[in-house]
Chain A
Amino acid sequence: MNQIDAARSGKYTEEMEIVAFMENVGIEFIREGVAKGTIVIPKNRVRDRANICGIGKGLDIKVNALFGTSSDREQMPMEARKLKIAEEAGCHSFMDLSTGGDIDGMRKQSLSLATVAMGGVPIYQAGVEAIEKKGNLMQMTSDDIFETIEKQAADGLDFMAIHCALNFDIIHTLQRTGRVTDVVSRGGSFLTGWMLQNQKENPLYEEFDRLLKIMKAYDVVLSIGDAIRPGSTADSLDEAQIKGLMVAGELTKRALAQGVQVMIEGPGHVPLNHVKSTIELQKRLCHNVPYFILGFLATDIAPGYDNITGAIGGAYAGLHGADFLCYLTPAEHLGLPNEEDVRTGVISTRIAARAVNIARKRDHALKSEYYMSKARVENNIQAQIDNAIYPEKLQDSLINIADHENNHDDEAMQVVAKYFGIA
């Protein structure tokens, strides 16, 4: 039985038990969240793996990493290394965004290596194969798309980004209102081009029930792709984006009615003064299902440091209710990330997530804060390393920490330390 069907019939699944244990909440809380759609548990029924996690209201905010080949870079061994690095650095899930080389082979390699939830974007493969086998993207058929989705679901992907919330009404709005950066979603751009050229409605929107059947058969979480997300802070909260959210909301309702778990993908580029509104709108229009955001990037002007702009936007978004952060690496807007970029991206996003979990008063986050501060006061270096978000970085700095604390030979310092009972 699907997670959502089980939840609605009052049953606890093994996955709910694991999530409740990991999050230190009652299993009934998890069951209720899954039944209502405020919590999703990405777990394809054909894939067994070590780590199960829940995403949504009342839980820790989670971190997703991306990797995959591109048409310019198709080195499978390098992608395998990135996957390992991202897991070591502490991500909760991955998405394989491969568009180059042996895409099926890449996915199978990733699924065999990953111990966490894994997602994909099937339209990439459908589009790339149409270009390679039929000569151009416009020859892609509706069947091509759905067959790719079914193939990837059968391979075991736990969640899928699918750009179903895009239709002609939205594209016409976009054409009418104009934007600084029109469509920055790769899947969204494939579909926009295909729709305009063929003058046909988006098959993922038009044949949404066909999509739901596949999702349901494998218990894949539908992640409604944000085809129309703002790609610059200037485009944030424009008409096209809101229309996209409204369509996503309608589809969410249908998915929930069919017993399909669903979450919504979000921007992108959002100035800090739009963060709260963006999240409130998503929650309201999309029936409180989890919000999976890409960033947010708090500014457009920091290429080379988008892990930092993403950490700023992600933390602030989490404070206002975002549930799931897709990482950004320092290579964003400049190229495909290398291994070191992946590590930096995961850690930066985890810092944002930790800040959110502290604000949400999550037990384990508050405990880490407490133990770290206590270790600092007591000058306990090992405890500082143990409680650090990425301890590997600190092993080399052991001597430096000790050195930093050598000011205790100061008399005024000794007096005050004694006064406060620290000496």
Chain B
Amino acid sequence: MTILESARKGLITDEMRQVAIIEEVTPEFIRAGVALGEIVILKNNAHKNVIPVAVGKGLTTKVSASVGMYHSKDTIAGEIEKVVTAKLAGADTIMDLSVTGDIDSMRKSALITTSKPIGTLPLYQAMAEAKKNKGSSLEMSVDDLFHVIERHASDGIDFLALHCGTTMEVVKRAKGEGRLDPLVSYGGARLMGWMIHHNQENPLYENFDRLLEIANKYDVVLSFADAMRPGCTQDSLIGSQIQEYIILGDLITRARDAGVQVMVKGPGHVPINQIETTVNIQKSLCKGAPYFVFGPLVTDTAVGYDHISAAIGGAISAYAGADFLCYVTPAEHIGLPNKEQVHEGVIAARIAAHAADLANGIDKAVRWDLEMSLARKDLDWEKQIELSIDPETARRTWTERSDDFSSECTMCGKYCAMKIVSEFLNKKKVG
């Protein structure tokens, strides 16, 4: 029985109990959320060493980090180092988005490196293999695609990103409506190319029941990828984006009826005045399924600083109801991130996630802020550093900018407000 089937029958599983402890909610809260489809638990039943992670309504906002081999010079060892970096920085999940090299070995290495849930995008490998074995990505057959999906699922991948809602009708609308940037999604664009070339409907849409069988068998969460996500702020909330959600909404009902958990991927690039609407539309059309957003970036122009642009969009999205943030690194739109950029990307996304959790009144988050502020008032530096989202960076910054490690910092020196006021207001000395 899948997690969703159990939840619908009123059964509380071990996974539900495990995530309930982490989230500080009751197992029944988790069960009810899973049954409604508002919470998904990432745990493939073939993924033995995984610690399940829950994503959805009423829970802390989660952060995913993406790695993967993209260039011929990229190595498995190099990407695994990034997996470790992301894990240490506090990512909740990892996505392996390899498009080249020994993709099978890469995936298996990632699975044994971390106990975090792992997601993939099988179309990348299916097309890479078609190119390698048959000379062109267009030569990928429907069976090829499904064989790769089954391979990923049986290896233990916990969530699969699949562009199930990108139908021919959506593609035609996208062409007609004059998007500034219609080819945003790496996999989505290639899938559209395949559909146009063969003049054939999207195989993931047409053979959706075949997909559900695999997902049910391994209890994989389907992560509906959005080929029509806006890739620039100008394309935000355009018709094809909405149409894809409408189609996904129908597929979500079918998936749930088949006992398969689903979440939906989101943009991308969204101006801040359209974020709330974007989240509300997804929640409404996609029937409350958890929303996994990529950023979103709030401006197209912050090249080199897209982790900051994404932190703004991610925080506002999660406050409005998004559940899961895919990180964006400072290398976005320029190249692939190195280890340091992976670290920066995870921390920036975690700041955004936490800011939203705080605003949404999640107890853990409120407590964390309070403890930090109490440590600040006491000028207790060790405690402040320990409570920092990235203690190592906080310590380094403090150390490099201090002269004598006196109780106050070099910002205000001896004219520290905390110190002065504590002396007069509370008649007690701190620091």
Spell out A's residues near B (CB within 8 Å).
70-73, 99-100, 124, 127-128, 137, 171, 174-175, 180-186, 188-190, 192-193, 196-197, 231-235, 269, 271-274, 298-305, 307-309, 311-313, 315-316, 319, 330-338, 347-348, 351-352, 354-356, 358-359, 365-366, 368-370, 372-374, 376-377, 384-385, 387-390, 393-394, 397, 400-401, 403-404, 407, 410-417, 419-420, 422
Stretch at the interface among B32-40, B130-138, B215-223: B130-138
Give Cα A256–Cα B273 distance, bound, in whole angstroms: 32
Question: Which residues on the A side are within 8 Å of B105 (C-beta)?
Answer: none
Q: Are A354 and B311 in contact (CB under 8 A)?
A: no
Q: Tally chain B residues at the interface, Cβ within 8 Å.
A: 105
Give Cα A180–Cα B396 distance, bound, in whole angstroms: 26
Give Cα A189–Cα B377 distance, bound, in whole angstroms: 13
Q: Are A373 and B180 in contact (CB under 8 A)?
A: yes
In the complex with contacts A182-B421, A312-B352, A315-B312, A369-B334 CB distance below 8 A: no
Please tell me if B51 contacts chain A, counting CB pairs below 8 Å.
no
Q: Are B301 and A414 in contact (CB under 8 A)?
A: no
Please tell me if B224 contacts chain A, counting CB pairs below 8 Å.
no
- Which of B186, B301, B388 touches A387 (beta carbons < 8 Å)? B301
Q: Are A127 and B301 in contact (CB under 8 A)?
A: no
Question: Which residues on the B side are within 8 Å of A307 (C-beta)?
Answer: 308
Q: Are B425 and A389 in contact (CB under 8 A)?
A: no
Q: Are A174 and B303 in contact (CB under 8 A)?
A: no
In the complex with contacts A233-B358, A311-B308, A312-B315, A354-B302 CB distance below 8 A: yes
- Which of A175, A181, A272 touches B315 (beta carbons < 8 Å)? A272
Question: Which residues on the B side are within 8 Å of A127 (C-beta)?
Answer: 415
Q: Are B356 and A272 in contact (CB under 8 A)?
A: yes
- In B338-359, the 8 Å CB interface with A consists of 347-348, 351-352, 354-356, 358-359
Given A368-B301, A397-B304, 8 other A-B residues pairs in contact with their CB atoms under 8 A = A304-B396, A351-B308, A354-B301, A370-B180, A389-B299, A400-B335, A401-B334, A412-B138
Q: Are A308 and B397 in contact (CB under 8 A)?
A: no
Spell out B's residues near A (CB within 8 Å).
71, 127, 131, 136-138, 171, 174-175, 180-183, 186, 189-194, 196-197, 231-235, 271-273, 298-305, 307-309, 311-313, 315-316, 319, 331, 333-336, 347-348, 351-352, 354-356, 358-361, 366, 368-370, 372-374, 376-377, 384-385, 387-390, 393-394, 396-398, 400-404, 409-418, 420-426
Give Cα A389–Cα B302 distance, bound, in whole angstroms: 5
In the complex with contacts A388-B301, A416-B192, A372-B232 CB distance below 8 A: yes
Question: Which residues on the A side are within 8 Å of B421 (C-beta)?
Answer: 182-183, 188-189, 192-193
Q: Are A401 and B373 in contact (CB under 8 A)?
A: no
Give Cα A238–Cα B288 distance, bound, in whole angstroms: 35
Question: Which residues on the B side are within 8 Å of A309 (C-beta)?
Answer: 351, 355
Question: Which residues on the A side are within 8 Å of B401 (C-beta)?
Answer: 331, 334-338
Q: Which residue of A lies closest to B401 (CB)?
A: A335
Q: Please list 25 pairs of residues, one from A and one from B, whose beta carbons are closer than 8 Å in the complex, sorted by A's number.
A: A73-B410, A182-B426, A183-B421, A183-B425, A186-B412, A197-B424, A231-B376, A234-B366, A303-B397, A303-B398, A304-B390, A312-B352, A315-B272, A331-B401, A332-B411, A336-B401, A336-B411, A351-B309, A377-B180, A389-B299, A389-B302, A401-B333, A403-B71, A411-B136, A411-B137
Question: Which residues on the B side are within 8 Å of A412 (C-beta)?
Answer: 127, 137-138, 189-194, 197
Q: Which residue of B lies closest to A190 (CB)?
A: B420
In the complex with contacts A300-B369, A334-B409, A369-B301 CB distance below 8 A: yes
Residues of A contacting B: mostly: helix
In the complex with contacts A305-B389, A390-B304, A72-B413 CB distance below 8 A: yes
Residues of B contacting A: mostly: helix
In the complex with contacts A181-B373, A410-B131, A369-B299 CB distance below 8 A: yes
Question: Which residues on the B side are within 8 Å of A70 (C-beta)?
Answer: 410-413, 415
Question: Which residues on the A side are within 8 Å of B316 (C-beta)?
Answer: 272, 312, 315-316
- Which of B137, B271, B351, B412 touches A359 (beta carbons < 8 Å)? B271
Q: Are A335 and B398 in contact (CB under 8 A)?
A: yes
Give Cα A234–Cα B368 distance, bound, in whole angstroms: 11
Query: Closest approach, in angstroms, between the C-beta of A173 and any C-beta of chain B?
Result: 12
Give Cα A370–Cα B232 distance, bound, in whole angstroms: 8
In the complex with contacts A373-B180, A415-B197, A312-B335 CB distance below 8 A: no
In the complex with contacts A305-B389, A312-B355, A335-B397, A99-B415 CB distance below 8 A: yes
Q: Are A273 and B360 in contact (CB under 8 A)?
A: yes
Q: Are A420 and B423 in contact (CB under 8 A)?
A: no
The 8 closest A-B pairs by CB, nearest first: A335-B401, A232-B373, A71-B413, A412-B193, A373-B232, A400-B335, A416-B193, A189-B417
Q: Which residue of A lies closest to B319 (CB)?
A: A272
Give Cα A404–Cα B70 distance, bound, in whole angstroms: 9
- Which of A192, A332, A394 touches B304 (beta carbons < 8 Å)? A394
